[in-house]
Structure 1
């Protein structure tokens, strides 16, 4: 994955984060750890090159990494540790980043229903 592809994929996931998450990350590029996402409490998590052979698989992999950060940051902030929210089961569980065909989507882990492309979630 090129730097431009990584930036494009991260921008898509961050659009979803801004749409439905109350916690905002601070980024730092660390020479040893790579790109770090920091929560308001100072805790951080590295974001690595996403895995997958297709662009959709890499986007879903990156969404998983950001989701892991968001759930921890929300919990630390005392908020519901669910991101992105499943419209079928509010505050029960987050949506899951999956790939259908050539598209990275957010889907319900219980029903399997698709709830939008990664990068296109609507504000809550």
Structure 2
């Protein structure tokens, strides 16, 4: 797997491993035919797959946030297929309402409440 993709995935997969998350079957199956991109697939237990990718050369923070959004899309579908709550990662301020959103703040990749705009945690350091 491309080094930049693996590095950007590491904090996101750490958060996904916390309670309420779900672990993917990560496969090094490039699908973007672009030398300036790195891609792979995430598979759920039901066999469904979701392509993820980043543009190479972007800052690590932007790569993490871009990838977190894609992994979050996969997680919602995977959790739904398991019959679990799909608001991953859940917003601690509004746990029954919506998931957190990945954003760049002060050159950091963070999970934030999309309603209040409050930073909750740096991506890779979710509680659990």
The reply to whether TM is greater than 0.5 is yes
Going from structure 1 to structure 2, the CA distance change for 1:69 and 1:38 (only over 3 Å counts) comes to same
- Matching of residue 10 in structure 1 with residue 15 in structure 2: no
Distance, in Å, in 2 between the alignment partners of 1:32 and 1:54 is 22
**Which aligned pairs between 1:102-121 and structure 2 lie closer than 5 A?**
102-121=107-126
Task: Give TM-score, length-normalised by structure 1.
Answer: 0.88
Find the residue that maps to 1:58 and give its secondary structure.
helix
Contact 1:35 1:48 in 2 (8 A): yes
The number of aligned residues is 122
Segments of structure 2 that go 5 or more residues without pairing to the other structure are 33-38
Distance 1:18 1:30 in 2: 22
Shift, 1:20, TM fit: 3.6
Preserved CA contact (<8 Å) 2:21 2:75: no
Q: Secondary structure at the match of 1:47?
A: strand
The whole-number CA distance in structure 2 between the counterparts of 1:51 and 1:57 is: 10
1:71-82 alignment to 2 at 5 Å? Answer: 71-82=76-87
Alignment-derived partner of residue 20 in structure 2:
21
Deviation at residue 67 of structure 1 after TM alignment:
0.3
Question: Aligned partners of 2:55, 2:85: CA distance in 1, in Å?
Answer: 26
- Gap change, CA 1:113 and 1:52, over 3 Å in 2: farther
**1:23 CA displacement:** 2.2
TM norm structure 2? 0.86
